[in-house]
Chain A
Amino acid sequence: MASKHYMEAHEAKKQGRPVTWITGYDPVEILYAMDIAVVYPENYSALCAVTQTAPKFIEAAERMGYSSDLCSYARNTIGTTFEEGAPLGGLAPPDFLVVARKFCKTHVKWWQVLSRRFNCPLFIIDAPYVPEDEKEYHVEHYVSQLEDLIAFLEERTGRKMDYDKLREVVKLSDRASMLWDEIMALRKNSPCPIGAADVLSCMFAIVTLPGTQTAVDFYERLLSEVKERVKNKIGVIPEENYRLLWDNIVLWYNVGLSNYFHKYGAVFVLEPYTMVWSGRLDPSNPLESLARKYMAPFINLKNRADVLVELCKQYRVDGAVMHSNRSCKFLSLLQYELKDILMEKLGIPSLIIEADHCDGRAYSDAQIKMRIDAFMEMLG
C-alpha cells in the first residue's frame, strides 16, 4: 500500500498534478478534496528505517552540516533529496509545501529547510498550542488558518475548492476513523487479538489516507478479521500473562522488538502513538471538525495524563514501556511525569528506554534487552 502510494505521487508529478509534502497530524483531507498528491516524509523515513537504508541518507545530511542531534526523520529526508539511491525513487518533488505548527516545532524548521531546498512556497498552518483545555478561540483561529490554506491552494493550483467534494472526503475520513477506533477497542479483549507489530504495519492508511475509499476498504477487511480472531479467542500469543503499553514512536529499524516480550507472555495491547490518528468528523461542518481533530488538545501534560490513565484502566495494562526518543522532544520530555502519574494513580510500573525512532546507528540491542529482562522479572 505504501509503495503504491509513493509511486502514485511520481505518476502524478509526470501528469502535471500538483504534489505536496505534509507531516503527520496535518489536515490532509483538504488536500485530497483538491485532488493534490500528498506524501509524508515522516512515514517515508520510517520506511527507510524499516528497510535499513536510512543511515546512508542520515549521514549525507550530517555531511551537509545538519547536526546529528536533529530529528532523524528530518535528517533522513533531507539526505534523500541530495543522495542517489533513495527507496522507491525518493519522494516526488513538491510543487509547494504545507506544514502545521501544533506541538512539534521541528516540523516547521524542517519544512523551512525543504522550502529552500526545492525553492517552493511553504504554507504554515499556524495552529495554536492548547496549554490546558481547548477554548473556542483556539478552534476559531484554526478554522481561519484552514480558510487561509484553501485560499493558498486555490491560488497555487488555479482550481476552486469543491465543498461537496470536501464533505465527501470528510465523511470517508470519519468512517476510517470509526473503523480504526473499533479495531483498537477490540484489543481490550483478552487474549488481545492484534499486537503492536501488526498494528504498526496497518497504520499507514489511517495516517496518510484518511478521506480515501482505500482506507475505508482496508479497515473494513481488517475489522472483520480482528473480530473473527476475538470470536475464536485467537490471541497474539497463546498465553497472555502481561498486558503492556508502549509509549512514543517505535524503533522503526527494529519493529520486531515488541515480539521480544512474547517470551514473558507479555503483549502490547495499547500504543497511544497508533491510536491518536483517528478523529471523528462532521461532514456538515467540515472545517470546524477538522480543526478540532488536528489541534491535538490531548498533547499537554494534563490531558495526555488523563487520557493515558483512562486508557490504561480500559485496556487493563500491567506495565508500560516508554521509548525516550532522542528525535522527538515533545513526545519524550513529559515521560518522567507520566511514569510517576501511572505509578501514583494506578500502581503501573514503567520502563524508560532511550533510543531513536529512525537512526539505529547507536542502538544496542543487547543493552536494551538486558533492561527489558530486568523490567519483566520485576513485573513477575
Chain B
Amino acid sequence: MINVFEDLVSNRHKNAAEWKNKGRKVFGYFCTYVPEEIIYAAGIIPVRIMGGSEDITHADVHLPSYICSFSRSCYDLALKRCYDYLDGVVFPYTCDTIVSLYNIWKADIPTPYVGFVDPLCAKTETARKYFREEVARFKGSLENYLGKEISEDSLRESIRTYNENRRLLKKVYELRKGPQPLLSGVEVLDIVRSSMLTPKDEHNSLLGSLLDRISEREDPPEPGVRILVSGSVIYDPEVLRMIEDSGALIVADDLCTGTRYFWDLVNTNSSPLVGIADRYYERIPCPCNYPPEKRLEHIMTLVKDYDVEAVIFTLQKFCDPHLFDMPFMEEKLKEAEIPSLRLETEHVTAPLGPLKTRIEAFLETIR
C-alpha cells in the first residue's frame, strides 16, 4: 500500500520511458515555481527533475564545486543521458544556480523545448501583473511548440485534478497529527515526491486507495520525538531516515519536496490562467525570492497543529537562499522556545557519521 509510492520514485526513468512508448510527451521541470497545471492541460506529463544517489562523475567538468549537490547531480544525470526521454524542460528563475543551469542545459543538453518562467521577488501589484503575463506567455510558447491550442476547459480540468491532489496530500498529512502517526517522514517524502513524478490523475487514485486502507495498517511507525524538517529539495531520503532511526519521528515539514509543493490550492473563482498565476504568486514562499517571515509563520502553524517538539533544518551546502534566512529562523525559534538543529548535507556519498552523532546529541537534549 505504501511501497507503491517508493517504487514510483525509484522507477521514475523507466516509467517515463514507458509513457513515451505509449505516445505521451514528458516534460521535466525544476523547482516548484513552474505552473505545472498548464503543462498537464496540454496533455504532457510533467515530472520534476531530481538528483540521484549515484556518484557525480560527469558534471564537475562543467560546474564548479561550490554549488549545491542537487544541481550538480541533476546535471550529471542529464549528461549521463538519464533524461534523454524528455521532450521539454522548464526552468524558473528561483536562484542563481538554477538560472545558470538553465543557460547551461540549453547549450549542452539537446532538448526539443526549453522553457523559462520568471517569478519575481516583490509582493507588489506590478509583480503580480507581470507574473500573470509571464504565465500567459508560457502557455503561448507551449502552444507554439505543440502547434495546438490549450483550451480553457482543459485548463479547468487540470486545475481540478491538481487541486484534488493537493487536498488528498493534505489528508495524508492529517494522518501524522495524533500521538500515533500512521506514516513516517521517509514514507511521506516518497508520497510527495511520487506526486511530482506521476500523472496527477493516477496519483490521485493511489492516494485515494491509501487513504481508504491506511487505518488498517498493522505496522505504523514507532512514535518518537516529534520533528518538523525544513529545507529545500530532499532528493535522497538518507538524512530523514537517519533522523527517524535515532528515536525521532518526522511529523511535518517545510520542504519543497513537502508542504511547499502542494499546500496552496488554485482559486477556481478566477479565470484559469489568473487563478494559476496567483496561486504561485501567493503560495508559501521559497526563500529564493522572498523574506522568511511568511515561511516562519507557516512553520509556526505546523508546529502547533502537529505537536512538533523540535525543528531540524536539512540544508544543502552552498544553498544561499536558505543560508541567508538561517540566523533569523534560528533566532525566532529560540524566542519561541522551540529547539532547532542546522544540518548541512552534501551529495549522498559524503560521510554521514558526523551528522548522525549531531542528530543523536540533539535528540538527547529534547527527551
Interface residues of A (CB under 8 A from B): 64-67, 69-71, 74, 101, 103-106, 108-110, 112-113, 115-116, 124, 126, 128-129, 131, 137, 141, 144-145, 148, 300-302, 324, 326, 329-330, 332-337, 354
Contacts and interface: CB of A to CB of B under 8 A. Distances in A.
Given A105-B320, A148-B124, A333-B104, A128 B118 contact: yes
Contacts of B122: 101, 124, 126
A301 B121 contact: no
Nearest to B317: A69
Interface stretch (B47-55, B57-65, B171-179, B190-198): B57-65
B324 A113 contact: yes
A324 B324 contact: no
Contact of B102 (A74, A115, A131): A131
A330 B99 contact: yes
B67 A333 contact: yes
Nearest to B64: A324
B362 interface: no
B328 A101 contact: no
A126 B320 CA distance: 19
A251 B133 CA distance: 41
Nearest to A132: B116
A332 B104 CA distance: 12
A67 to B, nearest CB: 4
B96 A330 contact: yes
Contacts of A148: 124, 126
A247 to B, nearest CB: 13
B107 A66 contact: no
Contacts of B288: 105
Interface residues of B, number: 49
Contact of A105 (B96, B101, B133, B330): B96
A137 B118 CA distance: 13
16 contacts: A65-B326, A66-B326, A67-B326, A109-B320, A126-B122, A129-B116, A131-B102, A301-B104, A326-B66, A329-B67, A330-B100, A333-B63, A333-B64, A336-B62, A337-B104, A354-B64
Interface string B177-208: 00000000000000000000000000000000
A334 B100 contact: yes
B168 to A, nearest CB: 33
Contacts of A333: 63-64, 67, 96-97, 100-101, 104
Interface string B312-325: 00000110110111
Contact of B320 (A64, A71, A115, A300): A71
Contact of A66 (B133, B317, B327): B327
Contacts of B116: 129, 131
B120 A329 contact: no
B35 interface: no
A332 B99 CA distance: 12
A134 to B, nearest CB: 13
A339 to B, nearest CB: 10
Contact of A103 (B96, B101, B289, B326): B96
A354 B60 CA distance: 14
Interface in B103-124: 103-104, 106-108, 116, 118, 120-122, 124
Contacts of A65: 326-327, 330
A66 B289 CA distance: 18
B67 A116 contact: no
Given A65-B330, A106-B324, A124-B121, 18 more contacts: A69-B323, A74-B324, A101-B289, A105-B95, A105-B96, A105-B288, A106-B320, A110-B324, A116-B291, A124-B122, A129-B93, A131-B102, A137-B133, A137-B137, A148-B124, A333-B64, A354-B65, A354-B66
Nearest to A301: B103
In the complex, the 5 A-B pairs of residues with the closest C-beta atoms, listed nearest first: A333-B100, A65-B327, A301-B103, A109-B324, A124-B122
Interface in B51-88: 61-67
Contacts of A69: 66, 317-318, 320, 323
A112 B320 contact: no
B103 A108 contact: no
Contacts of A66: 323-324, 326-327
Contacts of B326: 65-67
Interface centre among B96, B317, B325, B327 (most CB of A within 10 A): B96
B106 to A, nearest CB: 7
B349 to A, nearest CB: 19
B106 A301 contact: yes
B289 A105 contact: yes
Contacts of B120: 101, 126, 128
A104 B66 contact: no
Nearest to A328: B96
A359 B32 CA distance: 33
A141 B67 CA distance: 31
A71 B107 CA distance: 27
Given A301-B103, A301-B104, A334-B104, A70 B320 contact: yes
B127 interface: yes
Nearest to A336: B62
B325 to A, nearest CB: 8
